[in-house]
């Protein structure tokens, strides 16, 4: 018994160290965001300080970060909705008819480097005059959200009893009614998980907006990158921006953390 | 038993006759049209671009495989290829070893719940830009807290991302920090789905902890580890965000991986044809690795 217990304590110590290593950089970022300008880069680091909001005030007052954040919300929200609207009926039909090839095909989009699509997109959307609009970001980010939504929804549809759909058909439901009134309420938890994952992935995505966004559609992610490029030496404001853009994914994933790894690994785990 | 079947049979066929023959297949069409326009068409467009010589101000000229010939003779391509392979192998090894260790630790201590789970999932749900910004501030050679901590234990100072000799190792460690918990949670899931009695049998047979790990746990976990390896490989081979955010491929060319090189040729130098050839080549490398892992996965299946 004593040996077991010692092993347990040893495991506890290792785990505590891992958690410390994982938390420390994020804690450092948040602390720096609330430090007075004079103490952000002070060494030895100040752990005790009077927290201030001056970094956030500077961030939102001196830059367009508020507009950038709104752009991010529009793009992430729009691509989440577009992805779900396309994925929901598709995933239902794929599950019902046991079609596997469209799901496999969507994995292709997950594997190819984003830069590969970006060149033709830039030419296509320049031709269409859409570069710099919110729409082009919603469309391109939906390339990320659509496969995620399909793969998250598939197992929920697979678990749906076939009799429910069949009896709805027999009762004379039109197909879209069957889908919206019968299937949707039953897979609602899956839709929530899919929506949150889609939103977070789109919110976090860097590359497409880097090339395709314009002054009026610049996302908070790209704006933060530009702060670095402009040589913003005010680390407090930089960490304030990082804290702001880190918040939505952290809060949202808290809600669905039990489904998270399954959602991210989808495709590979089943395949 | 037989009576139920007999009683069931006529009912079933009656239902089958009433069952509507309508198909739901049309519901895939909107998603397919979207994928055709946004994924398939651009993919072939990129291949077609890669067969052209493009210059700013000039008409594109069809040169067949010319860009690929140029690529094979391009020292920058081979530099990018070496760096891509280095980052891939180094990060993958670190994350699989650390992830297996952490995953089994989580399984033993039954700790992956509540707040601990939140801490574990946070790193890989953070935007890459945030990871890059944290790295810039923490790993700053002069004012960063990392060098201050190293100095406490008599090490350093290091230049981290600013030194051609350490930049790739630093990037690999940043990625390992971010993605080891993900690998660990996959390992944990795989471990929990294994049959318990195998481990008990091994313990009764007197196998020590290392033997149990080496001869029982590891072979049983192999398919799970291959899954984790595929997922990480796809991201590592086309690695872009954190490098572009922190170094843009520098200092010099010391972190210009293939994807960074392709991006810079395409969107900074506007050599669309040559950039497309680089991107198509990188895609082929990624697909090749996925196919290779699919083979490995079949060979470790049990």
Rounded Cα–Cα distance for residues B287 and B177 (Å): 26
Element (H, E) at B139: none
Check: CB of residue B251 under 8 Å from CB of residue B167. yes
Q: Give the A window 203-262 contacts with B, CB below 8 Å.
A: 203-204, 206-207, 211, 221, 224-225, 228, 235, 238-239, 241-242, 245-246, 249-250, 253-254, 257-258, 260-262
Contacts 24+ apart (CB under 8 A), A190-193: A190/A152, A190/A153, A190/A155, A190/A156, A190/A157, A191/A84, A191/A88, A191/A153, A191/A156, A192/A256, A193/A152, A193/A256, A193/A259, A193/A263
Instruction: For residues A148 and A194, give the distance between their C-alpha atoms in angstroms, rounded to a whole number.
Output: 7
Three-state SS annotation for A214-255? CCCCCCHHHHHHHHHHCCCCCHHHHHHHHHHHHHHHHHHHHH
Q: B46–A93: do the CB atoms touch at under 8 Å?
A: no
Question: What is the rounded CA–CA span in Å between residue B30 and residue A94?
Answer: 13
Interface contact flag, A43 B25, Cβ < 8 Å: no
A15, A120, A166 ranked by CB distance to B105: nearest: A15
Which ranges of chain B have pLDDT less than 50? 1-18
Nearest CA in chain B to A235: B137
What would the mean pLDDT of A170-193 be, rounded to a whole number?
A: 86
What pLDDT, on the 0 to 100 scale, is given for residue A231? 67
Counts for chain B of helices (H) and strands (E), in that order: 15, 2
Give the total residue count for chain B: 302
What mean pLDDT value characterizes chain A? 88
CA distance B264 to B258: 10
Q: What is the ipTM of this complex?
A: 0.91
* Across A223-239, average pLDDT: 84
Asked if B34 reaches chain A (Cβ–Cβ under 8 Å), the answer is yes
B130 touches chain A (CB under 8 A): yes
Q: Per-residue DSSP letters for A67-98?
A: HHHHHHHHHHHHHHHHHHHHHHHHHHHHHHTT
pLDDT of residue B12: 44
Question: Is A123's pLDDT higher than 50?
Answer: yes
Q: Report the pLDDT value the prediction gives residue B59, as an integer from 0 to 100.
A: 79
* Partner-chain residue, chosen from A90, A124, A166, that has the shortest CB–CB distance to B31: A90
CB-facing half-sphere around the CA of A253: CA atoms within 13 A: 28
Q: What percent of chain A has pLDDT over 70?
A: 95
- Extract the tokens encoding B136: 């810039």
Angstrom CA distances, B161 to A214, B148, B165, B179, stand at 30, 16, 9, 19
Predicted confidence (pLDDT) per residue in B165-213, tens digit: 999 999 999 999 999 999 999 999 999 888 888 888 888 888 888 888 8
Which residues, 6 or more positions from B108, have their beta carbon under 8 angstroms from its beta carbon? A11
**Could you please report the per-residue DSSP string of B8-25?**
HHHHHHHHHHHS-----G
Residue of A nearest to B246 (CA): A228
By the 10 Å C-beta count (0-12 exposed, 13-18 middle, 19+ buried), A119 is classed as buried
How confident is the model at residue A232, as a pLDDT? 61
Burial class for B166, CB neighbours closer than 10 Å (0-12, 13-18, 19+): middle
In a mutational test of the B interface, the residue from A6, A25, A43, A76 whose CB has the highest number of chain B CBs within 10 Å is A25
SS (H, E, C) B191-258: HHCCCHHHHHHHHHCCCCHHHHHHHHHHHHHHHHHHHHHHHHHHHHHCCCHHHHHHCCCCCCCCCCCH
Residue B302 distance to chain A (closest CA, Å): 15
| pLDDT at position A18 over 50 | yes
Q: Per residue in B13-47, pLDDT tens?
A: 444 444 555 688 889 999 999 999 999 999 999 99
What residues form DSSP beta bridges with B53?
B61
Q: Identify which of A42, A16, A46 has the alpha carbon closest to the alpha carbon of residue A31.
A: A46
Which pLDDT belongs to residue B14? 46
**pLDDT at residue A118, as a whole number:** 94
Cα distance between residue A207 and residue A114, in whole Å: 7
pLDDT of residue A22: 96
Q: What angle do CA B160, B163, B164 make, to 5 degrees?
A: 125
pLDDT at residue B240, rounded to an integer: 95
Indicate which of B133, B185, B283, B297 best probes the interface with A, i.e. most A CBs within 10 Å of its own CB. B133
Q: According to the model, what pLDDT value does residue B7 have?
A: 41
Contacts of A225 (CB under 8 A, 6+ apart): A206, A210, B129, B132, B245
Cite the DSSP H helix spans in chain A: 2-33, 54-62, 65-96, 101-111, 114-127, 134-158, 162-170, 175-177, 184-186, 188-204, 207-212, 220-229, 235-255, 257-265
Q: Which of B41, B118, B227 lies at the smallest CB-CB distance from A269?
A: B227
Q: pLDDT tens-digit profile of A59-104?
A: 999 889 999 999 999 999 999 999 999 999 999 999 888 888 877 7
Cβ proximity of A212 and A137 under 8 Å: yes
Rounded Cα gap, residues B63 and A173, in angstroms: 57
- CA distance, residue A45 to nearest chain B CA (Å): 7
Given this model, what pLDDT does residue A271 score? Answer: 32
A55 token code pair: 């970094």
Q: Which residues in chain B (165-204) have CB-CB distances under 8 A to chain A?
A: 177, 181-182, 185-186, 189
A65-96 vs A134-158: helix crossing angle, rounded to 10: 40
């Amino acid at each position: 018994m004593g040996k077991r217990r010692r092993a347990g304590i040893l495991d506890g110590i290792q785990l505590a160290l891992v958690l410390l290593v994982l938390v420390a950089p994020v804690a450092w970022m948040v602390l720096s965001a609330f430090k007075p300008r004079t103490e952000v880069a002070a060494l030895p680091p100040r752990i005790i300080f009077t927290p201030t909001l001056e970094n956030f005030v500077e961030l939102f007052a001196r830059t367009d970060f508020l507009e950038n954040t709104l752009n991010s919300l529009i793009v992430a929200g729009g691509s989440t909705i577009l992805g779900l609207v396309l994925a929901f009926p598709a995933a239902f039909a794929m599950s019902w008819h046991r079609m596997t090839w469209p799901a496999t095909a969507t994995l292709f989009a997950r594997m190819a480097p984003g830069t590969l699509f970006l060149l033709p997109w830039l030419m296509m959307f320049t031709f269409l005059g859409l570069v710099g609009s919110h729409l082009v970001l919603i469309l391109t980010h939906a390339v990320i959200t659509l496969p995620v939504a399909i793969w998250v929804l598939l197992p929920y549809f697979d678990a749906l009893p076939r009799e429910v759909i069949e009896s709805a058909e027999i009762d004379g439901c039109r197909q879209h009614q069957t889908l919206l009134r019968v299937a949707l309420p039953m897979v609602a938890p899956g839709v929530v998980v899919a929506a949150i994952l889609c939103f977070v992935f789109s919110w976090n995505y860097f590359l497409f907006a880097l090339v395709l966004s314009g002054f009026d559609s610049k996302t908070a992610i790209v704006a933060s990158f530009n702060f670095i490029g402009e040589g913003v030496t005010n680390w407090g404001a930089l960490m304030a921006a990082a804290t702001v853009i880190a918040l939505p994914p952290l809060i949202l994933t808290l809600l669905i953390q039990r489904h998270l790894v399954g959602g991210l690994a989808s495709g590979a785990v089943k395949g | 038993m037989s009576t139920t079947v007999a009683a069931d049979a006529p009912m079933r066929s009656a239902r089958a006759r009433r069952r509507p023959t309508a198909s739901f297949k049309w519901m895939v069409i909107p998603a397919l049209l979207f994928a055709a326009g946004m994924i398939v068409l651009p993919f072939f467009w990129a291949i077609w671009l890669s067969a052209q010589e493009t210059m700013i101000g000039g008409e594109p000229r069809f040169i067949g495989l010319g860009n690929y010939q140029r690529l094979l003779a391009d020292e920058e391509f081979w530099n990018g290829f070496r760096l891509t392979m280095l980052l891939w192998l180094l990060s993958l090894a670190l994350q699989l070893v650390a992830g297996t260790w952490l995953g089994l630790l989580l399984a033993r201590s039954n700790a992956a719940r509540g707040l601990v789970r939140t801490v574990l999932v946070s790193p890989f749900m953070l935007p890459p830009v945030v990871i890059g910004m944290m790295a810039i501030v923490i790993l700053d050679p002069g004012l960063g807290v990392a060098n201050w901590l190293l100095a406490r234990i008599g090490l350093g100072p290091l230049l981290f991302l600013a030194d051609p000799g350490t930049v790739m190792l630093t990037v690999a460690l940043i990625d390992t920090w971010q993605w080891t918990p993900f690998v660990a949670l996959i390992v944990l899931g795989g471990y929990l789905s294994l049959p318990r009695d195998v481990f008990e049998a091994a313990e009764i047979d007197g196998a020590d902890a290392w033997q149990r790990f080496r001869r029982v746990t590891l072979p049983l976990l192999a398919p799970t580890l291959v899954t984790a390896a595929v997922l990480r490989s796809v991201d590592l081979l086309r690695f872009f965000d954190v490098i572009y955010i922190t170094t843009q491929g520098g200092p010099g060319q010391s972190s210009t991986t293939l994807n960074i090189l392709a991006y810079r040729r395409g969107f900074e130098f506007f050599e669309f044809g040559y950039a497309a050839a680089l991107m198509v080549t990188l895609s082929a490398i990624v697909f090749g690795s996925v196919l290779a892992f699919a083979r490995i996965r079949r060979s470790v299946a049990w």
